[in-house]
Chains A and B, each alone.
Chain A
Amino acid sequence: QVQLVESGGGVVQPGGSLRLSCAPSGFTFSSFGIHWVRQAPGKGLEWVAFIWYDGNNKYYADSVKGRFTISRDNSKNTLYLQMNSLRPEDTAVYYCAKDRAAAGTSVDYWGQGTLVTVSS
Chain B
Amino acid sequence: SYELTQPLSVSVALGQTARITCGGNNIGNKHVHWYQQKPGQAPVLVIYSDSNRPSGIPERFSGSNSGNTATLTISRAQAGDEADYYCQVWDSSDVVFGGGTKLTVL
Q: Which A residues are within 8 Å of any B CB, using their own CB?
A: 35, 37, 44-47, 50, 59, 61-62, 95, 100, 104-108, 110-113
Please report which residues of chain B, range 81-99, place their CB below 8 angstroms from some CB of chain A when the two chains form the complex. Answer: 84, 86, 88, 90, 93-99
List 12 other contacts, CB 8 Å, given A100-B48, A104-B90, A110-B42.
Answer: A45-B35, A47-B97, A59-B93, A62-B1, A104-B95, A105-B31, A105-B48, A106-B33, A107-B45, A108-B45, A110-B43, A113-B42
Tell me the nearest residue of chain B to A110, going by C-beta. B42
B97 close to A46 (CB less than 8 A): yes
15 interchain pairs, CB-CB under 8 A: A44-B84, A44-B86, A44-B97, A44-B99, A44-B100, A45-B88, A45-B100, A46-B97, A47-B96, A59-B93, A95-B42, A106-B33, A106-B48, A106-B88, A108-B54
Q: How far is the CA of A61 from the CA of B93 in the complex (A)?
A: 9
Docked Cα-Cα span, A7 to B36, in Å, equals: 24
> Chain B 62-106 against A: per-residue CB contact (8 Å), 1 yes, 0 no?
000000000000000000000010101010011111111000000
A106-B88, A107-B45, A112-B42 given; A47·B100 CB < 8 A:
no
Minimal beta-carbon separation of A32 from chain B (angstroms): 14
Q: How far is the CB of B70 from chain A (nearest CB, A)?
A: 13
Chain B interface helix/strand/loop/mixed: strand
Distance in angstroms from B52 CB to nearest chain A CB is: 9
Say yes or no: A107-B1 contact (C-beta < 8 A), given A44-B86, A44-B99.
no
B17 interface residue per 8 A CB criterion: no
Shortest Cβ gap from B4 to chain A (Å)? 10
Residue ID in chain B nearest A35 by CB atoms: B95
The interface residues of chain A lying within 8 Å CB-to-CB of B84 are: 44
With a cutoff of 8 Å between Cβ atoms, the chain B residues found around residue A62 in the complex are 1
Name the one of A47, A61, A105, A111 contacting B49, with C-beta atoms under 8 angstroms: A105
- Please report which residues of chain B, range 39-67, place their CB below 8 angstroms from some CB of chain A when the two chains form the complex: 42-45, 48-49, 54
